Homo-oligomer: A and B are copies of this chain.
Amino acid sequence: MTEERAALPSWRPGQARDEILAFLEASGQIPPEDRLACFDNDGTLWCERPRYIQLEFLLHHLQQRVQTDPALGTTPEFSAVLSGDAAALEQVGLPRIAMALTGLFAGLPADRFKVLVREFMAAAANPALGRPHRSTVYRPMLELVDELRLRGFAIAVVTGGGTEFVRAVSQELYGVDPERVVGTLIEYDFADGEGGPVLTRTNRVSGTLNDGPDKVSHIQAQLGRRPVFAAGNTSGDREMLTWAETADGPSLALLVDHDDEEREFSYPGTGESATPTEPITDVAHRRGWTVASIARDWAEVFP
């Protein structure tokens, strides 16, 4: 027990840590092939405030492009974004803006997009926290990833964000291979070029956004097994967390509660889920999920 407590040094003693340690201890009973742990990304593995990191990336490229092509900034989506006007932003809506921004990369080969993401992540910083985005991953969650991996778990990142955006940095930040990143996927166009097949990004989402019930369906489609552990922080993670919780044998559903205005941010986990539901913290208490309060349970937040 002493050894295991030493294993999660950034977690303060308390109910959340006790429940996690109990699950880690019980995980030996789980058949190896069922040891799959699924982590939401924004707000669960890395910081999502004041804006999604991917949105920062898209805005960065929009600003660059508008400098050489000012007309681009006059579309309703881009002028709303560039003005920062809350009413205009709300009127156009995040989904439409996100798709317009995604379109900036249509026509790029897969490898080129990966390079752009890595260049951005090597340099850009969170404007409110004053630390690089790459250092806004949550240290307690990385410790938990390590402990699960030590016990033979496959670790997957299941994000509402862009699959390829997260894949570009998942190995470096989390040790997660690209095939274990399940997200919102942009379709590729296939062409049989002179030097072999060429895949270029389009501006079309493949299938559906990876949120809510679709997280469950996409996990099955891409990963082919049901998680016995899931972590999330918004209503968009509700079905995934319930799916893990109701698996046979030992299981754990973990909700990160952002309640620490001093060290990070304080906001409810309403998320962008299409289905209005009860507050996710209420769901967690009702179903007996493990709730990690950042203020109470995390001795350290960032690396």
Contacts and interface: CB of A to CB of B under 8 A. Distances in A.
Contact of A224 (B163, B195, B221): B163
- Counted per complex, copies of this chain come to 2
B178 A190 contact: no
Summarize A's interface: helix, strand, loop or mixed: helix
Nearest to A166: B224
Contacts of A214: 190
B243 A196 contact: yes
A33 to B, nearest CB: 6
Contacts of A180: 179
Contacts of A33: 171
Interface in A107-126: 110-111
Interface of A: 33, 110-111, 154, 156, 163-164, 167, 171, 177-181, 185, 188, 190, 192, 195-197, 199, 206-207, 213-214, 216-217, 220-226, 239, 242-243, 245-246
17 contacts: A33-B171, A111-B226, A154-B179, A156-B179, A164-B224, A178-B225, A179-B179, A179-B180, A179-B223, A188-B221, A190-B216, A192-B213, A192-B239, A195-B246, A197-B216, A197-B239, A199-B216
A222 B224 contact: no
7 nearest interchain CB pairs? A178-B224, A196-B246, A179-B223, A167-B224, A197-B243, A196-B242, A190-B213
Contacts of A163: 224
A198 to B, nearest CB: 9
Nearest to A168: B224
A223 B213 CA distance: 22
Given A213-B190, A220-B188, A242 B197 contact: yes
